[in-house]
Amino acid sequence: MVNSMTESNVIQPDNAQLSTKNRIKPSPRVNMAHLAKDMGIYPYFIPNYGQIGPRTIINGKETIMLGSNNYMGLANHPEMIRVAMEAVQKYGTGCTGSRYLNGTLDLHIELEEKLAKFTEKDAGICFSTGMQANLGVISGLAQKGDYIISDAKNHASIVDGCRLSYAETKVFDHDNMEDLERVLRTLPRDANKLVISDGVFSMEGNLANVPDLSELSEQYNARLMIDDAHGVGYLGKHGEGTGGYYNMMDKIDLLVGTFSKSFASIGGFVTAREDIIDHLQHHARSLIYSASLPPASVAAASKAIDLFYEGDERREQVMKNAKMFRDGLDELGFTTIQGKTPVVPIIIGDVMKMLKFNHKLIEAGVYTNPVPPPAAVKAMLRTSMIATHTEQDVQEALEIFEKVGRKTRILKKKK
């Protein structure tokens, strides 16, 4: 997408009299957005007019939601709504301060204790977003003279956390354990080292190789941090995530997560040894200098943990839905990325074809997430399944995909 635009195409502000210092530098990304808007196919910031469930209302029409990270289907669960409303009634709408000062409620402490038990760690701390969790944990823990070793496809919040840290960052090829070992071999054994990987990579939906990550981290005297934002809830014995899937929770030194996906709330967290959490409470700037999570969000996240423990049926259903949808797409002739998670990427290749296809899907009643490079290697639609999708939802979505795919020539027409 970025390489297809030139500076001569860049749209300048209407006010040509702006001084040089007030002008924003030309951005191919923004220029592409303007082009998509002019063509009527701009796919971002589209409002929903209803609860985020298996279906929602977009542009006045009931739409099958295939672009949500609401994997366990809890965003409109009656118990989640109930506890959130009760928290507002008891505590009000906000905490009006940092956790470090006046912004800690008993709700926060209760949630952190539940998270520690849930993820089999000593202690935990909550942040106001998942992004802030990674920013605070990485920059608060890795100092000058330390080393961060990060997977090439880690989430942007990890990348930015590395940038904020004074540690030296080394990047290894995605999911390439030989390259990880090559990097680790070059670093001083006695230096503090932090190996970081997503648990489930958000765009393609593939699982991190936790067994080999753990083995290499131990061999080269490094801590292992897993960001399991997209794995917690539906992976593991009771939803504890990627580490639970491999039965290796004890091998993960720091587990970072978010409340904005399976937890169906907002916020982020890290669980680890008690001394690490104690350190972060006094060094994670995104924790210390941000207002704390509001009561409703904390209560909802806490209730989500309870529902995870009794969520075997939902875990089974979301994986069943993903298989049904992926198999259906493959049978129709779409190119998908195989995986073991509810994330089902559909490779389109060309950015403009992807945007046009996505626009027609929305008009027909299906919402997906269009992902251009560099967020994905090739332009693709990122779809994801929800535990509360019914078989009818999945089959209807497949019918729409086939109809729109043939109309837009993404799929070959039937002979």
Does the annotation mark 262 as catalytic? no
Nearest to 65 by CA among 386, 414, 309: 386
Contact present, 194 and 225 (Cβ < 8 Å): yes
Structure tokens at 184: 């680790």
Does the annotation mark 302 as catalytic? no
CA angle in degrees (0–180, nearest 5) for 125-129-135: 75
CA distance 319 to 245: 13
Does the annotation mark 230 as catalytic? yes
Contact present, 232 and 274 (Cβ < 8 Å): no
CA distance 168 to 182: 16
Structure tokens at 132: 């802030």
Nearest to 211 by CA among 199, 228, 227: 199
Catalytic, out of 230, 356, 359, 360:
230
Contact present, 139 and 115 (Cβ < 8 Å): no
Q: Which residue has the tokens 């493959």?
A: 330
Structure tokens at 114: 């539940």
Catalytic, out of 202, 260, 262, 286:
202
Q: What's the DSSP call for residue 382?
A: E
Sheet bearing 379-384, strands edge to edge: 335-336, 343-349, 379-384, 369-371
Catalytic, out of 170, 261, 356, 389:
261
Q: Are strands 147-151 and 123-127 parallel, antiparallel or unpaired?
A: unpaired
Nearest to 70 by CA among 397, 366, 389: 389
Q: What's the DSSP call for residue 6?
A: -
Contact present, 292 and 109 (Cβ < 8 Å): no
- What's the one-letter identity of residue 337? I
CA angle in degrees (0–180, nearest 5) for 382-254-117: 95
* Residues designated as active site: 202, 230, 261
